[in-house]
Amino acid sequence: MPTQTTSKQKIVTQLFATMAKHVKNEPIESRPVLEQLIYAILRENATRESADQAFEALRGRFFDWNEVRVTSTLEIIETFNGALSDAEARAQRIVDLLQEIFETTYSFDLEPLLEVLQKKGMKQAAKQLMRFQAANDYAAAWVMQQSLGGHVIPLDSTALRVLKRMGMIEELADLEAIRASIENQIPKAKGSQFVDLISVLADLHCLEQAPRCSACPLRTACPTGQEAKAHAAPTMKKPR
């Protein structure tokens, strides 16, 4: 049965109340568009802490983005130092993105693109960003939220899994409709923190294979948590 609006609001309230202590209470660092795209590749299906760690390691180890472009993916993976899952795919996407940008602009400056994007509506801006082969829906949404200040909430497969379990979304088919629904429920000022909270919740409790519902602070509001509790409850033996 679809979760009612009031129940969804209860879940959102509990999410902010119980998980906020696990995330950084400071705005995300402002970065040029190119770096936001690279950061989005690191941040997708990862916590902010892990993405920050990998991004800082990249910046610290390599002289500039051109050096990253010509570096082997193996060396980039080593730089992540185990901070991220799917390290090989992420490293390859970063190299591909840098190569594509270099071939199309002969530089690593995407700030002129930002001016173009600012003049377009959010939908057109997203389409333009997704012309980069290595950019996907998440990366485009990330740039729109962080660089264009739009009320756009980047949703990766981890967030979709958690939101589905919590009954915040019903179907996984239409990503645009899902995002519109979530953006309706989360105020713009809290969009960035919401993304942080969901990824930490997924990391600590709402694991892909076996969610730890019994220890999850959302278990009293989350329908999946409630279901798990009902199944775990011992059945009373009838007196003989």
Closest CA to 13 of 178, 161, 186, 158: 186
Q: Read out DSSP for 198-224?
A: HHHHHHHT--SSS--GGG-TTTTT-HH
Tokens 């950061």: give the residue.
Answer: 39
Q: Taking CB under 6 A as the rule, does residue 225 contact ligand SF4?
A: yes
Binding part of the chain for ligand SF4, among 37-45, 46-54, 83-91, 219-227 by CB under 6 A, reads 219-227
Nearer to ligand SF4, 24 or 212 (CB): 212
At CA 89, angle to CA 87 and CA 92, rounded to 5? 105
Q: Taking CB under 6 A as the rule, does residue 161 contact ligand SF4?
A: no
State which of positions 100-119 bind ligand SF4 (CB under 6 A).
Answer: none
CB contact burial 120-142 (16+ within 10 A = b; e otherwise): eebeebbeebeebebbbbbbbbb
Is residue 94 within 8 A of residue 68, CB to CB? The reply is yes
Q: How near is the Cβ of 188 to ligand SF4 at its closest, in Å?
A: 24
Q: Taking CB under 6 A as the rule, does residue 8 contact ligand SF4?
A: no
Nearer to ligand SF4, 37 or 159 (CB): 159
Nearer to ligand SF4, 154 or 211 (CB): 211
Tokens in use for 145?
A: 């939220």
Among 79, 165, 192, 194, binds ligand SF4 (CB under 6 A): 165
Q: How near is the Cβ of 21 to ligand SF4 at its closest, in Å?
A: 16
Strands (E), 5-151: none
Among 97, 166, 178, 182, binds ligand SF4 (CB under 6 A): 166
Cβ within 8 Å of residue 66, ≥6 positions away: 98, 102, 108
Longest dimension (CA), the chain: 83
Q: How near is the Cβ of 224 to ligand SF4 at its closest, in Å?
A: 4
Q: How near is the Cβ of 228 to ligand SF4 at its closest, in Å?
A: 6
Nearer to ligand SF4, 150 or 211 (CB): 211
CB contact burial 77-97 (16+ within 10 A = b; e otherwise): bebbeebbeebeebbbbbbbb
Nearer to ligand SF4, 179 or 205 (CB): 205
Q: Taking CB under 6 A as the rule, does residue 206 contact ligand SF4?
A: yes
State which of positions 33-52 bind ligand SF4 (CB under 6 A).
Answer: none
Q: Taking CB under 6 A as the rule, does residue 168 contact ligand SF4?
A: no
Nearer to ligand SF4, 94 or 216 (CB): 216
How many other CB atoms sit within 10 Å of the CB of residue 222?
Answer: 29
Positions in the binding site for ligand SF4 (CB under 6 A):
162, 165-166, 205-206, 211-213, 216, 218-219, 222, 224-225
